[in-house]
């Protein structure tokens, strides 16, 4: 992602990336401070894509846009650390699902609180009306940018 030196302002993608990067760093910091300091950013990017009923490795790879081998490696690490577990897929006896384990749920609780704190700061900075307008605009943009919504 580079900025075109001929433009006077960053493109919309870059403008979306800056706050995303800040949110991610703040959440990861809060999670680490709460004692979950053995989860990496790469692991968290796979972990956050696990659905409430579990998700197949192939689906995690597709959503994260990384290879199944890389996802398997990251899930192995998360499983050893107690964040996830592999369980049989009730719809296919040959398949397995990755599901969030008890330790992972505890980390998620910390992350959710941190996300809410950051978002509240942003709303205070922007004001309720502008924050609501931003949410509406980004939600609409998601219609054409997020195939997994």
Domain that holds residue 138: 38-145
Taking residues 98-121, what's their average pLDDT?
Answer: 98
Does 128 map to a domain? Answer: yes
What pairs with residue 98 in β-bridges? 55, 86
Helix (H, G, I), strand (E, B), or coil: what is residue 86?
strand
Over residues 70-96, the mean pLDDT reads 96
pLDDT at position 1 over 90? no
The whole-angstrom separation of Cα 93 and Cα 32 is 36
Does a structural domain hold residue 73? yes
What the block records as the tokens of 12 is 């919309």
Q: Give the per-residue pLDDT at 5.
A: 63
Q: Would you place residue 149 in the very low, low, confident or very high pLDDT band (cuts 50, 70, 90)?
A: confident
Q: Is residue 9 part of a domain?
A: no
Element (H, E) at 19: helix 12-33
List the structure tokens of 118. Answer: 């950051």
For residue 88, the surrounding DSSP H or E stretch is: strand 84-89
Kind and range of the H or E run holding 95: strand 92-100
Report yes or no on 22 lying in a domain.
no
How many domains are contained in the chain? 1
Domain membership flag for residue 59: yes
Residue 80 is encoded by which pair of tokens? 């050893």
Whether residue 118 is contained in a domain is answered as: yes
Q: What single DSSP character describes residue 129? A: H
Structure-token pair, residue 2: 């580079």
Predicted pLDDT of residue 93: 86
CB-side neighbour CA atoms (13 Å) of 91: 5
**Is 48 contained in some domain?**
yes
Cα(37)–Cα(33) distance, rounded to whole angstroms?
7
pTM of the model: 0.87
Report the CATH number that the domain containing residue 140 is assigned in CATH.
1.10.10.10
Joined together, the tokens standing for residue 4 give 């075109």
């Amino acid at each position: 992602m580079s900025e075109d030196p001929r433009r006077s302002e960053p493109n919309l993608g870059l403008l979306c990336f800056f706050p995303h990067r800040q949110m991610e760093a703040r959440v990861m910091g809060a999670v680490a401070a709460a004692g979950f300091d053995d989860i990496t950013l790469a692991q968290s990017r796979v972990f956050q894509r696990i659905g409430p009923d579990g998700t197949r490795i192939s689906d995690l790879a597709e959503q994260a846009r990384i290879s199944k081998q890389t996802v398997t490696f990251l899930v192995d690490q998360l499983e050893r650390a107690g964040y996830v577990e592999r369980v049989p897929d009730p719809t296919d006896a040959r398949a397995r699902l990755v599901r969030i384990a008890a330790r992972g749920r505890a980390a998620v609780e910390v992350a959710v609180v941190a996300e809410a704190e950051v978002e509240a700061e942003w709303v205070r900075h922007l004001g309720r009306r502008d924050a609501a307008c931003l949410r509406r605009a980004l939600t609409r943009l998601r219609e054409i940018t997020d195939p997994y919504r």
